[in-house]
Structure 1
C-alpha cells in the first residue's frame, strides 16, 4: 500500500515538473484552478490562470453532483464555445450576462434538453468575473465570485471563457474550458452538520507533499483547507507554477485559505503569494506611506531635493466565520504590536467572536510563526510574538492556535506565559486555557527538536495534517500522518456542555408539562384522578370495617 502511494506521488511530481511552467498548454487552457471564501463565507471565489488573456472569464455551475453532468454529457456533441453541449446552450446569443442569471437554453432540440431533469436545468447558473496580472507573470489570473449559494450543498462547476469578443485583427477569440468539471461543498449550517477542516503548513514542491494532498483530497468529510504559511518556498514564477500544479487537487475542491509564511514575503515570492491566492483581506489593497530618506533627515522636508521613498504595507490578515468556527488569520509579518493596525483589528475581531459565542462556539487563531515551539528550526518559540499577542488570546478564551514555521507536529498543554494551566492529556474544558499546535508539515524537510519543555505534551517528526471536527459542544482535533495512522488526538469540550444534558431534560419536562396540562384540564383528567383516589380510599376503608 505504501509502495503504491509512493509511486503515485512520484508520478504526480514528474507530471507537475513537465508542465510546471504552463508552456505546453494551449494559451487559453485554464490551469491552477483554486477556490477561496469570499467576503461573505457563503460566497466562493473561483480563480485560475491562462497563458493568454480571456475576454470574459466565466464559470458555469449548478447545485448537485458532477457525476450527473458527466453522465448526461456523454451523448451530447460538445460545442466549441460552450462547456455544456452544442445544442444545450445558446451562449453566442447572450449579449449581457447577469452574474447570477440562469443559463439560457435553446428550444430547437428537445432531445438534448431531455438529457437533464427539470430541476437540473433550473439550477444551471453562469457567472463572469475579472482578469488581472502582475509584473513578472507571463500569464493572466481570472477570478469569478459565486454568490447566493445554499449552505451545506454540493456544487459542480467548470471554468473558461466564451468566444464573445474580437481580437485586434477582427477574428474571434477561441474559447477554452477546463478539461473536467470540478466540485465543492459549501459552508455547512452549524445546526445540521459538524464543521470539518484540514490544516497544515510548510509545503514546498518536494518531499511528501503529494501524499499529504492525496489524503486530504480523498477525505469525504473535509470541506475547507487552511495552509498556515510557506506555500511554495519559491522566489521564481517557475516554482510557483510547480506548486500550483501540486495543490490543484485540493485547491479546486475546497476553499483553500492561506496566511503568509516567512518564505511567502520574500522578494520574488510576495507578488505570487498575494495575487495567485487572493484572500478576503481586512484591507483590500496595500496601503502606502511616504518615508523621507534618513540620509537626508537633516534637510528641510519641503526641499524638492529630499529623496522620498514609498513603503507598502500589504496587510495580509483577515477573519471569517465558517460553520461552528470563527477563524482569525494573523500575519506574522505585518506589525502586530500594541497600537498597530493589525493589533487593533485583532482585538476587534476577538471581541466580535466573543459576542457570537452562543452561535459560533469555537474560536481559532492561525499564524505562521509559533508562540510555542521546541523545534530547533527557528530557535524555538517566537517570544516577541507571544509577548505581544498572547494576552489577547487569553482574555478572549481562544480555544486553539494553529502555527507552522517549524517543520514537525507539536501540541502544548493549555498554557499561558509558559505555564501549564491544565495537566490533562486528552480531554479539556474550553475555559481551561489555550492549546497551541504546530499543525503538521505538508512536505518540507523536517527540523530537529530542542530539549522538550514542560509545556510540550506531544511532538513528532513526521509529515501530515491536522483535522478539525467542530460540533456544538466539542472540538475534536486529530493529527493524521501520511501513512494514514493517527499521530495525536484530543478533544476540547465547551463549558456549556456540562449542563447541556441537564438543561435538555429540564426543558423536555417543562415542554411536556405545558403540553399535557391544558389537555388534562380540558378533559377533566385531574378531577377524574382525584375522584378515583377518593373511591379507592373509601373502598379500602369499607373493606377494613367489614373485616
Structure 2
C-alpha cells in the first residue's frame, strides 16, 4: 500500500501506552498492557485496571471481542464470555484524552450446550453516541473480576479511505483432548481434528495490517466437529481476542456453526457469542444476516445454508426462513445501489458460487440460481466467501453462459490486474484461515473444452451429508488461483476519490501466511474500480 493510502491512525502501541494516563481519571497508575497485540500473547492487568475491580473471586473476563453496532460511526459492541453467571457486567470507556468517562451496562445471553450440558454466558455492551473516526479505550468488567481492556477506532462519516481484511475457515490453534483420552496413552494424541498453528499465525497477520474491521466468512472454529464444543469456542475467542479486542471482527455463520442440540436451527452458540447489527425480530433468525455501512461501502452478510443444496452442518437447514432472508437481501441491494452515498456493495457469505478445486465442495447450483440474478441486477461489486480451503478468485462475471445447465457465470472481462466493477462481480474464495484439510493442491488443470478452460464440478442435487450429485462444466470464469500455499487472507484498501463522479478504487492484496514460520508474503495485488455514485452515470 502506498503512503498516500495508509491510515493516519494512532498506533496500537501508542494507544496502549496512553491507556494508563487515560485511566487516571478513574484510578491512578500506568496501564502496562504490553506491546502491540500482534506481538503479545497475553494481556496482564495493570494497576489502573486492577483498581477498577469490585470484589473478588469471580470468574474472569474471557474472549473479549468487538462488533459494530447498527451505525459504525457512532456505535460499538463490546462482548466477552464467562463460564458462570456474573453480576453487573459493564464496560467503562472514553476517548484516549478523556479517559473512562462513560459506562454502558451489558446485556447477557446464555445457552446450554446440547452435548456437554455446559452453560456459557456472553455479555454484550452497546457503546453509543460515539464520535466518528475517533480512537476510544474501554475496559470490560463484572463484579469481582479483573477488567480486561482494549481500544478501537470508529468508522468515518461519509466517504473516506479505510482498510478491511477478510478470510474464512479458521479453526483454533489450540488442541482439545477427545473425551476420555489419557494424555499418557497413544489415544491421548487424538486431538481436535481441525486445529493448526496457522489459525493463530493468521491473527497476527491481520494485526500487522491493522484494518478498521475484519470479515469472517463462516466456519469459524469447527466446534460442531470437535470433541468439546464449548471448549473449542473458548479457545477460538481467546485466540482471536489478540486482534478482535482492537477492531470489530464481523462474522457470518457457515455450515460448521450448525450444532446439533443447540437450538432448532443449531445456531444457539453463534447467536450467543456475537451481537451483530441484525434487524431480524425472530429470535431464531437473529444475527444470521445483517448489513452495515463504512464510508461508501455497504457490507451485506448472509447465512447461505438456507439456500445451498449441500448438507454441510449437523442439521439440514435448507429453506429455514421461508424466503425471508432472500427478500431482505433484495431490499438491501436495491437500497444500496440507489443510494448516492454508497459506491461499493460487498457481500460476505460462506458457501461458494465458484470453485475449481476437486477435493473441495464445488460451486452450488442453488446459490447461482438464487443470488446470481440479484447480484447482476444490483451490480454487486465483490463477494467474499470461504468453504473451500484455498484461495481462488474469479474474473468479473455478469449473467450466465448461454445454454449452461449449471448456470455457469459468464466473464464480462478478461483482465485480472484492473477490474471494472461496474460491469461484473468478482468472487473471492478466502478459505485459508487456518483449518486443516486444505484443498489448494486439487485445482483442476485439464483442458476441458478444447479452448484451454479448466473444469469445475458443480453441485446440482442433494443426496446426503456432504454428498451431492455433481456436473462438470468449463470454468470459463477462473481468474487467479494459488496452488502453492494453503493459508492466507485478503486486505482491501478503499480509496474513495476526491470529487463527485470520480473513480473510486479498492486496492486488493492477498497475503500468504507461510508455514511453519507464520510470516506474511504478498501473493498477488489487483485493483477494483468504478465510478462514484454521487455524479455521472449510475448502474441500472
Answer whether TM exceeds 0.5 for this pair. yes
What is the distance in 1 between the residues matched to 2:395 and 2:154?
33
Q: Does 1:329 align with 2:296?
A: no
Aligned partner of 1:347 among 326, 330, 335? 330
- 2:212 corresponds to: 223
Deviation at 1:437, TM superposition (A): 0.5
Judged with a 3 Å threshold, the aligned counterparts in structure 2 of structure 1 residues 194 and 135 are, in CA distance, closer, same or farther, namely same
What is the distance in 1 between the residues matched to 2:120 and 2:324?
33
- 1:93 corresponds to: none
Deviation at 1:51, TM superposition (A): 2.9
- 2:153 corresponds to: 185
Q: Does 1:424 align with 2:415?
A: yes
Q: Does 1:459 align with 2:478?
A: no
Across the aligned residues of Structure 1 and Structure 2, the Cα RMSD in angstroms comes to 2.8
What is the distance in 2 between the residues matched to 1:378 and 1:128?
44
- 1:201 corresponds to: 168
Structure with higher Rg: it is 1
CA contact (8 A) 1:36 1:44 kept: yes
Deviation at 1:384, TM superposition (A): 1.2
Q: Does 1:40 align with 2:30?
A: no
Aligned partner of 1:320 among 289, 292, 310? 292
- 1:100 corresponds to: none
CA contact (8 A) 2:389 2:430 kept: no
* Structure with the bigger percentage of helix: 1
* Structure with the bigger percentage of strand: 2
What is the distance in 2 between the residues matched to 1:50 and 1:315?
20
Q: Does 1:158 align with 2:135?
A: no
CA contact (8 A) 2:392 2:430 kept: yes
Judged with a 3 Å threshold, the aligned counterparts in structure 2 of structure 1 residues 31 and 496 are, in CA distance, closer, same or farther, namely closer
What is the distance in 1 between the residues matched to 2:220 and 2:431?
13
Q: Does 1:389 align with 2:371?
A: yes
Judged with a 3 Å threshold, the aligned counterparts in structure 2 of structure 1 residues 438 and 177 are, in CA distance, closer, same or farther, namely same
Deviations 1:178-236 (A, max 9, x none): 25x31111112344x3121111000111220111000112323x110110100110131
What is the distance in 1 between the residues matched to 2:79 and 2:41?
22
Deviation at 1:466, TM superposition (A): 0.9
Deviations 1:26-76 (A, max 9, x none): 643101111111122231111111233222111111112xxxxxxxxxxxx
Q: Does 1:237 align with 2:215?
A: no
TM-score by length of 1: 0.66
What is the distance in 2 between the residues matched to 1:481 and 1:26?
43
- Specify every segment of 5 or more residues in structure 1 that has no aligned partner in the other structure, as ranges: 1-7, 14-24, 65-118, 163-174, 288-312, 501-547
How many residues align? The count is: 387
- Specify every segment of 5 or more residues in structure 2 that has no aligned partner in the other structure, as ranges: 1-36, 43-55, 173-194, 309-318, 401-408, 445-453, 455-474, 497-503, 514-518
Q: Secondary structure at the match of 2:362?
A: coil
TM-score by length of 2: 0.67
Q: Does 1:436 align with 2:427?
A: yes
Aligned partner of 2:529 among 493, 511, 532? 493
Q: Secondary structure at the match of 1:489?
A: strand
